[in-house]
Amino acid sequence: MWLVTLLLLYSLQEVNSEDVVSTRLYFVNASLQRVTFSSSVGVSLPCPAGGAPHAVLRWYLAAGDDIYDVPHIRHVHANGTLQLYPFSPSAYNSIIHDNEYFCTAENQAGKIRSPSIHIKAVFREPYTVRVADQRSMRGNVAVFKCLIPSAVQEYVSVVSWEKDTVSIVPGNRFFLTSFGALYISEVQKEDALSTYRCITKHKYSGETRQSNGARLSVMDPTESTPSVLDSFQSGEVQVGHSVELPCIASGYPNPTIRWLKDGRPLPADSRWTRRISGLTISDLRLEDSGNYICEVTNSFGSKEVTGHLNVIEPLRVTLSPKNLKTGISSTVILSCAVQGSPHFTVSWYRNTEPVVPDQHFSIQGAHNETLFISAAQKRHSGAYQCFATRKGQTAQDFSIILLEDGTPRVVASFSERVVVPGEPFSLMCAAKGAPPPTITWTLDDEPVARDLSRVRASQYTLSDGSTVSHVNVSSPQIRDGGVYRCAARNSAGSAEYQARINVLRGFGL
């Protein structure tokens, strides 16, 4: 009975250690960092991390608390999908409905965590949008803006403008900017006869709203210094995207517009387009970062607006080595390469717990980008994750480190025998360990003389990590007999094997 149990335990352990090799952890969507949903619809969010053949998926609040089920409010399905049900405003709880969450995936290989995901419910709250009446001179431009309450600005955007209840088709003196403003160029007397409205849409509830009808008073031109009607501010945009820098001014005579970047006229580039609404730069590059000035001038004076454009690369993190199997007591060096704009911070996790420097762990490098594990122990196995964070951006990569008891074992060897003087013989020792051991030979406790042309020792490492070593004696003499011992050593320990080789006396030579 005992024997059966023991055998069973043993075979289970074997299965486990085999599994670790083929077990994987992965991210389904590593870039997911924000989820906004309508309170009347709810949200169902699969865990962005997973594992194969199987992983336990769990959700937590970023503050570290476990997730519990709240009947009819929040539930985590067995498949790891987090569900927040539709709710009425009275059931709102900011801890549940507006908080940072993260999901973890755990199996025998280790445990990884997603970046924090801000999950936020948005209500169908009453709001109104307004457009203010404007004044303009004939021949100038008029700018109408749709005034959206700041509380809903994030989710409400302008979808169109109407002139006397008819949707405005851009072109022919009417322009819609990417910020939702309406520009009317070369203002004419009859523009004063119409009313102008903006139509908005709520991103999550889908509701649309219509503003009041605003009017335009059109005056006869009078000589005046330029005044800026709409302009841009400093901002940050990702490489490859487009940006619109609005700059539009009134005045009489009509002001001219000049753009400067870092004090110099704009470089000639097909990616830069000057429109009535301002300057558009498409397919942004890092070198487009800089100070932009829009200068408006007429014979009575000039005005300028300045803003700083910062073009950033998305963060990308590569942790190397990926997946390492090595012996205990070896030194493991993990390096986290971060690409993208500078000024990021790096943090390290092992199985989702922050790595705390101690006698085994040290975090080094100008950006904390290198993790040293010295004299690594079996308990240091697991998933190591490197997170780089910069403002709202987070990127991560992870690596599975498996520390095995890598003490060498002699897996093949020679046996005791009698050899005839002058007849070549060869002894072989093979040892396994992690890291691969080195093998040394002794004869009667003295190192085997390698430099003799009669005696050759050699070793090589096989692809499975074992080391094979031979001692070949081409023309044995009496003094080549004795106890041969091979010793296999690595940082985890050593193993030895020995046997006697007898050279026949009084034979020939």
Q: Which residues bind ligand NAG (CB under 6 A)?
A: 29, 31-32, 46, 77, 79, 81, 345, 363, 367-368, 426, 456, 458, 470, 472
Neighbours of 386 (CB within 10 A): 27
Q: Which residue lies nearer to ligand NAG by CB, 81 or 351?
A: 81
β-pairing verdict for 290-298 and 256-261: antiparallel
Using the structure block, give the residue that is written with the tokens 């910062």.
310
Check: CB of residue 416 under 8 Å from CB of residue 500.
yes
Check: CB of residue 143 under 8 Å from CB of residue 183.
yes
Min dist. Cβ of residue 313 to ligand NAG (A): 18
Distance between CA atoms of 12 and 73, rounded to whole angstroms?
A: 41
Min dist. Cβ of residue 56 to ligand NAG (A): 15
Q: Which residue lies nearer to ligand NAG by CB, 351 or 472?
A: 472
Query: Would you give the DSSP letter of residue 478?
Result: G
Q: Which residue lies nearer to ligand NAG by CB, 282 or 472?
A: 472
Min dist. Cβ of residue 196 to ligand NAG (A): 35
Min dist. Cβ of residue 477 to ligand NAG (A): 18
Query: Would you give the DSSP letter of residue 18?
Result: H
Q: Which residue lies nearer to ligand NAG by CB, 343 or 505?
A: 343
Burial of 505 (0-12, 13-18, 19+ CB in 10 A): exposed
Q: Which residue lies nearer to ligand NAG by CB, 173 or 203?
A: 203
Using the structure block, give the residue that is written with the tokens 């699969």.
46
Please state, in angstroms and as integers, the Cα–Cα distance from residue 92 to each residue in 42, 43, 74, 121, 218, following that order: 12, 14, 12, 9, 49
H or E element, residue 206 = none
Q: Which residue lies nearer to ligand NAG by CB, 162 or 397?
A: 397
Q: Which residue lies nearer to ligand NAG by CB, 62 or 199?
A: 62
Min dist. Cβ of residue 147 to ligand NAG (A): 29
Check: CB of residue 473 under 8 Å from CB of residue 449.
no
3-state secondary structure 45-113: ECCCEEEECCCEEEEEECCCCECCCECCCEEECCCCCEEECCCCHHHCCHHHHEEEEEEEEEECCEEEE
Q: Which residue lies nearer to ligand NAG by CB, 272 or 425?
A: 425
Q: Which residue lies nearer to ligand NAG by CB, 377 or 458?
A: 458
- The two structure tokens encoding residue 423: 């007849």
Min dist. Cβ of residue 268 to ligand NAG (A): 35
> Counting runs of H as helices and runs of E as strands, what totals does the chain give?
2, 49
- Phi first, then psi: give them for residue 183, nearest 5 degrees: -110, 135
Check: CB of residue 345 under 8 Å from CB of residue 390.
yes
Min dist. Cβ of residue 32 to ligand NAG (A): 4
Min dist. Cβ of residue 141 to ligand NAG (A): 37
Min dist. Cβ of residue 120 to ligand NAG (A): 13
Q: Which residue lies nearer to ligand NAG by CB, 36 or 212?
A: 36
Amino acid identity of 155? Y
Min dist. Cβ of residue 349 to ligand NAG (A): 12
CA-based nearest residue to 284, from 316, 313, 308: 313
As a residue count, the chain comes to 509
